[in-house]
Every structure is written in C-alpha cells, then in structure tokens.
Structure 1
Amino acid sequence: MAQTWAVLAALLFLLISLVEGLAYSTVSVEAGHEAVLSCPYVSNVSLLMVTWKMKCSSCCLLAYRSDSNETRKLNCSERMMWKHSPDTDLALRIYPVNLGDEGNYTCEIANSEGNFLFFSSLTVIVPPAVTLTWDKSGMAVCQASAGKPAANVSWIPASNHITEEEVHHSNGTVTRVSYIGWVNSTLPTVTCLVTHPATNQTLSLHLSYSSPRLPYLVIGGSASVAAVSGVTLCLILMCRGFRIRKLAHRSAVPFETKNFRFTPSRVKREAVKPPVSSESIYQNYNPRMNY
C-alpha cells in the first residue's frame, strides 16, 4: 500500500513539473504581415541557451548561447530573425509571413534549473478575392476566391434559391461560390455579403442594368437602326437617279448641238443665225449697186 502511494505521488509530482514547464499559445497573422512568436522567460536564474525551431526535420533552427554571446541560424530564410537582441528579448519575428510559414514552433530555454519549453502555433490568414457577376442563365454569382479559411457568403434579400460550392486548393486556400436566381425577381438590386477574419466586403449588383435580355435589345435596336438607315439611303439614291434622268431628258438636244465638234463653221453660223424678216432684207437695198 505504501509503495502504491509512493508511485502516485511521483506521478503527481511529474505531472505538476510538466504543467509548470510547458506553455502554449496560438498566433494568427494575415499573409504579408508580421508574425511575432513570444518566448517568455521569468526565471531568476541566468539564461544559458535558447533555441527556436519549427516542428519538422529540415526546418529553421535559430539558437543563442549566452556564455559566448553567439547566435546560430540553420535552414532559416532572411524573413526569420530575432525580434530584438536575444539577450533581452527571445521572441521570433517572421516578416513578411506566407503560407509556408504556417505550423508549430518550439522555444526551448536552458538554464541551471533545467529545460523549459514554450509552444506556439502559427496560423496564416489569406483574404479572398471577391467578385459579383451574373450569367446568362439568370443567376447572380458571388465568388470569394482563394481565402483561408473559407469565407462565408450571404445574400440580401435572402432567398430559398441559393446554391453553393467549394473548391479546395493544394496550398490550403478555399474558393467558395454562391449562386442566387433572380430571373423572376422584381427587386432592382441584389447584395452579396462576404465575411472573413481578414476582411468583410459588401457588393451590390443592379439587376435592371445587368439583365441578360439587354444585349438582345441592343442588337435588335441596332438592326432596326440599320434597316431605317438602309431604307433612307435607298430613297435618297432613287430620288437622285430620278432627278438625273429628268435633267438628261430636258437637255439632251442642246447638249448634242453644243458639243458637236465636226460641224463646219458655216453650217454652225447658219444654225445659230436668227430669222430675218422681209423688211430687213430690203432695208439697205440700193438699185445702183447692180450696175
């Protein structure tokens, strides 16, 4: 019985030690921003060494040794560094953070009293690209592309004719597409609400301006305008042709006489000589001129 209590006391002491030596935090950062992972150290015993490492075999390892004031960096990109000087602040800084930095990190502190671990879980948030369009089938389409986590999409006004679909990408992002039918709707506007930890967006679509019947109306209007223009052009050409034929009929003979170049000059003068009266013939007659 005494042995059993001794074992239980040892297990309890070990559990208390583990709880006191472990700490855990979660950090969520938007892609492209700065991520800071803290490693609190409150012991009065002087620090011997601190090591930051990501939980994978070939990931970054960042270490600092106080007795020699030496830092070491292994398999770490230039985006990973100490927040400040490691002898005053043990926090890890990642800037700019991307999806590849997401995961679990461990800060291990060593001093004369032992080793202490502090765990951090880094989550990278990616805001989606939001669009609101319509298609020819009479559906309004609200799409939140490549977001992490997946965005929530809702409509104003709400409708029972809403369908959604999701596409999961290999990098962990999600595209969510929501459809709502508005062919028989009498409302002039539909509004899409997109909620996400990184962004909240509201987009509105004027249905009266985006009706799929509009292109057909435009095409029909263009055809009508073209038909009216064609008829008007035909009438103008017919009127001009009629006037040209009428003018040609009126001036056919004078044009031929005037432009006839092979008529002798005497004939031409006779042709244009005005008629002479009998009085003018004997006006200058002198009988002596015969002798």
Structure 2
Amino acid sequence: MAQTPAVPAALLFFLISLVEGHAYNVVSVETGQEAVLRCPYASKISLLMVTWKMKCSTCCLFAYRSDLNETSRLNCSERTTWKYSPDTDPALRIHPVNLGDEGNYTCEVTSSEGNFLFSSSLTVIVPPTVTLTSDKSRVAVCQAAAGKPAAAISWIPASNHSTEEEVHHPSGTVTRVSYIGWVNSTLRSVTCLVTHPAANQTLSLDLPCPSSRLPYFLIGGCASVVAVSGVTLCLIFKCRGKSFDEPEMYCNSFSDYVQTKDFRSMPSLERTDVVEPPVLSESIYQNYNRRMTYI
C-alpha cells in the first residue's frame, strides 16, 4: 500500500507532459552541432526499457535494457549516444548532426506501469555560402549557395529592379541568387544582406564607375588626335615653305624619294626656272673637215 500513491503521480506526470506539449518536441539544430532529443520520464517509475526509433524501415534503433544494464543499436552510427544515464534521463544525443539525421523520432518507455510514447521532430539547418561579385556591365550578383532553408536576400540601398532565381538540390538545400544592375546610377558601392536562421551576413562591394571615367578617356583621345594632326600639318607646311629657299637643307630627302619613284602621273618636283643648253660632246667634231663644205 505504501507504493500506491506512486502510480497516480506517474500518470499525472505523463498527463501534464502531454498537456504542456512535451510529448512532441520540435528541435532545430545547425549542421555540425549537437542535437539533443528529450524523452520525458518520471524517475519514480521503475524503468524496464527505453527505445529510440527513427521513423523509417531501415533507420536507427537505439535501446536500453535496465535489467541487463546494456545498450544495443541497429543501423545507428557512433554519433548516436545517450546524453545522460538512460535509467535516469533517456535523452538521445546526436553529434555532430548532419542532413541524414533529419526526420521524426519516437521514444518508447516501457515500465512497470505500461508503455508511453513521445515524438520529436529534428530539423537540420544548413548555413549558406554567401558571395558577392560584379561584372563589367555593372551588375551585382549576390549568391547564397546550398542553404537550408533558402536564405532571403535584400539590397542596400533598396531597389525594385532586382531579380532572383532558385536552384533546389537533391540534398534538400537551396541556392538563391539575386541580380541587381546599376548601369545608370552614380553609386560607388552596394551592400548585400543575407538573412538566414543560422546567421545573418552582410557583404559590401565597390562597383566600377565607367560613367565617371569615360570623359577622361574622350578628352585624352581627342587631345592625342589634335596633337598628331597639328604636328603633321606643321611639318607639311614647314617643308613646303622652306623648299623655295633652302631646298637642299629641308627637302632633299623628300625630293630624292620622289625621284626614285616612277610617278608618271605626277609633275616633276625639280626646279625648272633655269634651263641650260645641252653640252655637246667633242666627239661630234672629230670628223669635221672645212674643205668638205666647198665640194
């Protein structure tokens, strides 16, 4: 009779657990961290056996028998252990957790008072890999790769011209990419804000400014053209002006070049103001005889 009050106390404990929501736990853990799944248990009840099951045909089964004081596992990795002593607190520990551990788990407690079930849902969170780049057309690209759940991307300063796309991977992760253009803007930098349950990240990027550099390129190009044209015209007029006064000093090279070429369609560039008679060779008079003129 001394143990009779223990039975209503145990039943009351489990009823309170159901009302408070402890019969169904939702656990969210970041990948690589420790996941602990609770199993409410009244220490005043004599525990015979506790079994953890993952809801699938070939998934993990982790059990403890108090009479043998031993733990058995089936299809469970070494990452699955007890958080504490199973006869006092049969909480399940998974460390480090990965995406393959995600799912629904059931804790079944067998005691002298009966069997009791408790369920837990484990969600694994994967932080995305965030990058921010730009191309030559001044389009900024913010990418949150392989995140779970999908990350939210926003821009600072805000713009209504951004576009997004998503890629869903077989592992359950999602890659989200956001594009924003600043072609007609004078802003020198943009900031990408990535919001995710694992962590929020902010990246800033300096954008190239072709609009501010273009006038300098144009001015430099025009100055070069003007300089080259001016030097060319100067040399041409200088050569022509000096050709009448000092041809040998300034324009001999040009005249020699013209004389070496057979420009039949061009007039001769040599001076023709003085024409000297041809010099006859003395060979013409070698056979001349004055007597022959009277014959």
User: Common fold, TM-score beyond 0.5?
Assistant: yes
**Residue 209 of structure 1: how far off its partner (Å):** 6.7
| TM-score computed with the length of structure 1 as normaliser | 0.64
Residues 179-198 of structure 1 aligned to structure 2 (within 5 Å):
179-198=179-198
Per the alignment, residue 118 of structure 1 pairs with 118
Assess, with a 3 A threshold, how the Cα gap between structure 1 residues 126 and 210 changes in structure 2: closer, same or farther: farther
Per the alignment, residue 173 of structure 1 pairs with 173
Q: Return structure 1 stretches of 4+ with deviation > 6 angstroms.
A: none
Q: Is the contact made by 1:22 and 1:116 (CA closer than 8 Å) also made in structure 2?
A: no
Whole-angstrom distance in 2 between the partners of 1:210 and 1:91: 62
Assess, with a 3 A threshold, how the Cα gap between structure 1 residues 96 and 18 changes in structure 2: closer, same or farther: closer
Q: For structure 2, list consecutive stretches of 5 or more residues without a partner in the other structure.
A: 1-14, 225-295
**Residue 138 of structure 1: how far off its partner (Å):** 2.8
Q: How many aligned positions are there?
A: 203
Q: Is the contact made by 1:38 and 1:91 (CA closer than 8 Å) also made in structure 2?
A: yes
Query: In structure 2, the residue corresponding to 1:100 is in which secondary structure?
Result: helix
Assess, with a 3 A threshold, how the Cα gap between structure 1 residues 94 and 209 changes in structure 2: closer, same or farther: farther
Per the alignment, residue 129 of structure 1 pairs with 129
Assess, with a 3 A threshold, how the Cα gap between structure 1 residues 146 and 62 changes in structure 2: closer, same or farther: same
Query: In structure 2, the residue corresponding to 1:161 is in which secondary structure?
Result: coil
Per the alignment, residue 42 of structure 1 pairs with 42
**Residue 135 of structure 1: how far off its partner (Å):** 2.1
Which residue identity does 1:163 align to in structure 2? T
Whole-angstrom distance in 1 between the partners of 2:59 and 2:171: 18
Which residue identity does 1:132 align to in structure 2? L
Assess, with a 3 A threshold, how the Cα gap between structure 1 residues 210 and 24 changes in structure 2: closer, same or farther: farther
Whole-angstrom distance in 2 between the partners of 1:122 and 1:19: 19
Residues 14-93 of structure 1 aligned to structure 2 (within 5 Å):
23-42=23-42, 44-93=44-93
Per the alignment, residue 154 of structure 2 pairs with 154
**Residue 68 of structure 1: how far off its partner (Å):** 2.0
**Residue 83 of structure 1: how far off its partner (Å):** 1.1
Assess, with a 3 A threshold, how the Cα gap between structure 1 residues 102 and 194 changes in structure 2: closer, same or farther: same
Q: For structure 1, list consecutive stretches of 5 or more residues without a partner in the other structure.
A: 1-15, 225-291
Say which is worse superposed, 86-95 or 175-184, in terms of deviation.
86-95
Assess, with a 3 A threshold, how the Cα gap between structure 1 residues 210 and 77 changes in structure 2: closer, same or farther: farther
Per the alignment, residue 144 of structure 2 pairs with 144
> What percent of counterpart residues are identical?
77
Assess, with a 3 A threshold, how the Cα gap between structure 1 residues 61 and 159 changes in structure 2: closer, same or farther: same
**Residue 19 of structure 1: how far off its partner (Å):** 5.2
Q: Is the contact made by 1:84 and 1:91 (CA closer than 8 Å) also made in structure 2?
A: yes
Per the alignment, residue 199 of structure 1 pairs with 199
Assess, with a 3 A threshold, how the Cα gap between structure 1 residues 56 and 91 changes in structure 2: closer, same or farther: same
**Residue 22 of structure 1: how far off its partner (Å):** 7.8
